[in-house]
A and B are shown apart, each in its own frame.
Chain A
Amino acid sequence: MDKQRRKFLKIAGASVIAGIGAPAIIKLSGTSAHASGGRVVPAAGHAPAVAHGAHGEEAPKGVRLGMVIDMRKFADKPELLDGAISACIDAHNIPQYPDKKNEIKWLWKAPFESVFTDQSAYHSSKRITETDFAVLCNHCDDPPCVRACPTQATFKSPTTGIVAMDFHRCIGCRFCMAACPYGARSFNWQDPRPYIKKYNKNFPSRMKGVVEKCNFCAERLALGQEPACVESCKGTGAITFGDLNDAKSEVRAILDKEFTIQRKPTLGTKPSVFYIV
């Protein structure tokens, strides 16, 4: 059962990549000034011959979905981030607990000093200190949680680079929570269903005793839709999503143009979420 499910997800993912079966190719927030207007996700195996990154990083292979979060946009319009968070909650049946102990968070807000613990917050500008930063799973290219998982319940999708979860295989040992340097993982300390405000039939709710986290909306990508948070910020350029390995993608255009930072890059996890501060 589990295996079939996983196989299905893989095939679904792969067909999106190949552009078969999916009603539309994933379109990025097209109104941004940097819009390339082209396909976002290239055909599988079409690894662009890009220049090698600094410090001998290996040449990128396959698709590596990633995100650029433009905090300038969120600073101007804080309600944008609230909208993205509630879109995420609605899309994934994320339970809302009144207490911190049980908290389940996929996409949430945190101050700069919490998000970028390696960066100095000494005499930061007002925009830095007063803006809430968007925090989510980094879908690392070299994810420590995947290394730690004793059952491969959390795994890196070979076709998209998404760090995904199999809720039916997870034994709830929480090794991945200890391993994640970004605090991106949550555990169902009890049955979450009574705390789901609005039930979305298109995504499974979880049971007690398993870990969960942001999945870059793999289920929406499979239908040719954008991630819920990206869609919620559409037209603002606050979040740009796409293939980091595709030189023609919109995310790459932004990465090439803007100065971006990643969370804790020194740990070697190669986060796929970038921030414009």
Chain B
Amino acid sequence: MIEKTLKGKPAYWVWLAFLGMFMAVGAACYVRQYNFGLGMTGMSRNVSWGLYISQFTFLVGVAAGGVMLVLPYYIHNYKDFGRITILGEFLAIAAIVMCLLFIMADLGQPMRALNVVLHPSPHSMLFYDAIVLNGYLFLNILCGWVILTAEKKQVKPPKWIYFFVYLSIPFAVSIHTVTAMLYCGLPGRHFWLSAIIAPRFLASAFAAGPALIVIACLVLKRVAGFDAGRKAMNKLVTIIIYAALLNMFFVGLEFFVGYYSNIPGHKHALQYLFFGLEHHGHVYNNLVPFMWAFVILAFGAIATLATPAAKKNDFVLGLGCVALFVAFWLDKGIGFVLAGFVPNPLHEITEYVPTMNELGITIGVWATGFFVVTVLYKIAIGVEHEVEEC
């Protein structure tokens, strides 16, 4: 099936070359960082995780979001998702590839990464994260490939594969739960020390992941002659709206706990994110515009997707999904990780601004993810077309 990636319209090659350019820039930036050290980034002693880990966190959600297609299709036999479930699985693969690249980019000593395997440490949440992420990657490659091969041959998928399909469902939940546990089990980081982090992560994942799949379907409809069908899209929109509302509800609960209890430690990070945090006469607020953009975009997107127009008009649907994806990226891919470091354990404030080199690597990894998903979707759509022809 891999041969399908080698034949395409000029636009396909131009798109891959376009992504390849950013990948090359990212690689060059990474060589610089590898040689000099992580001092090439905007991270510091006080904000010791930056864009890499925040992108990782967000993309784990995108990967987990694929389960919103797998679960209705395989467990509830929701046939309308039949054509697009493979898109969810392939998106998960690309997202996990990005996650692993971001982790590698963030390591101070990447050549020692295998120490996590050589010296397994069951008390560390990173140990479990490595297991579930790689496990989920493996499951999606296996299930996606076997089921697509069966489709190509126009036979039923082998029975044994369903074991792995069903297994991938708890794995999807586990990757984001364990990722949340990286944060919510740390004493002394009040913003992260909240039992609602894992559910909140899952809610935002189940909105942002499917939103990206809807966007992908709309793009594929235009460029690849692949129509996922309105019924499937509208069902996805329903899932997106409920998950997005849940995420906003959970964010609201964080505000209630912080502000009603009036415990300073529980308010600081929220103050920093949404209003600016005053310290020794200086107001630190460089994330405030991002967070209000998140709130406005999120509610705007939910309202847009809930209108009848989104059920019929592709443009309105696409607009709503893009807005929602960006909103939840701002929330989890920017705000959540960075605010955990403000203030630091000594109640000092350091603000984080990524460097150009760091942005280059970040964009390079994203481009790699889009490259992977393009190639995988090319295979999936190619098989679909082949089956339709005969």
Contact of B49 among A178, A182, A264 (CB under 8 A): A178
User: Is the pair A180, B107 in contact by a Cβ cutoff of 8 Å?
Assistant: no
Q: Which residues of A contact B25 (CB under 8 A)?
A: none
B115 at the interface (CB under 8 A from A): yes
Q: How far is the CA of A187 from the CA of B44 in the complex (A)?
A: 8
Give the interface centre of B49, B119, B341 by most chain A CB atoms within 10 Å: B119
A79 at the interface (CB under 8 A from B): no
B234 at the interface (CB under 8 A from A): no
A269 at the interface (CB under 8 A from B): yes
User: Is the pair A174, B49 in contact by a Cβ cutoff of 8 Å?
Assistant: yes
Stretch with Cβ within 8 A of A (4 or more), from B152-160, B223-231, B247-255, B345-353: B345-353
A49 at the interface (CB under 8 A from B): no
Stretch with Cβ within 8 A of A (4 or more), from B64-72, B182-190, B202-210: B182-190
B113 at the interface (CB under 8 A from A): yes
Interface size of A by Cβ–Cβ distance < 8 Å?
50
What bracket does the count of chain B residues touching chain A fall in? Answer: 35 or more
Q: What 1/0 flags go to B101-134 for Cβ under 8 Å of A? A: 0010011111011011011010111110010000
| Residue in B closest to A187 when the chains form the complex, CB atoms | B48
Q: How far is the CA of A55 from the CA of B281 in the complex (A)?
A: 41
Q: How far is the CA of A114 from the CA of B127 in the complex (A)?
A: 33
> Could you count the A-B residue pairs with CB atoms below 8 Å apart for me: how many are there?
145
Q: Which residues of A in the span 164-192 have a Cβ within 8 Å of any Cβ on B?
A: 169-175, 177-183, 186-191
User: Is the pair B119, A152 in contact by a Cβ cutoff of 8 Å?
Assistant: yes
| Given known A-B contacts A150-B124, A172-B107, A209-B109, A181 and B45 have beta carbons under 8 A apart | no
Contact of A191 among B37, B115, B123, B348 (CB under 8 A): B37
| Residue in A closest to B41 when the chains form the complex, CB atoms | A189
User: Is the pair A103, B45 in contact by a Cβ cutoff of 8 Å?
Assistant: yes
Q: Which residues of A contact B (CB under 8 A)?
A: 100-105, 110, 113-115, 117, 135, 144, 146-153, 169-175, 177-183, 186-191, 207-211, 264, 267-269
The 13 sampled A-B contact pairs (Cβ below 8 Å) are: A102-B39, A114-B348, A144-B186, A150-B127, A152-B121, A169-B119, A172-B107, A178-B183, A181-B188, A181-B345, A189-B37, A189-B39, A210-B108
Q: Which residues of B contact A (CB under 8 A)?
A: 36-39, 41, 43-46, 48-49, 103, 106-110, 112-113, 115-116, 118-119, 121, 123-127, 130, 182-183, 186-189, 340-341, 344-348, 350
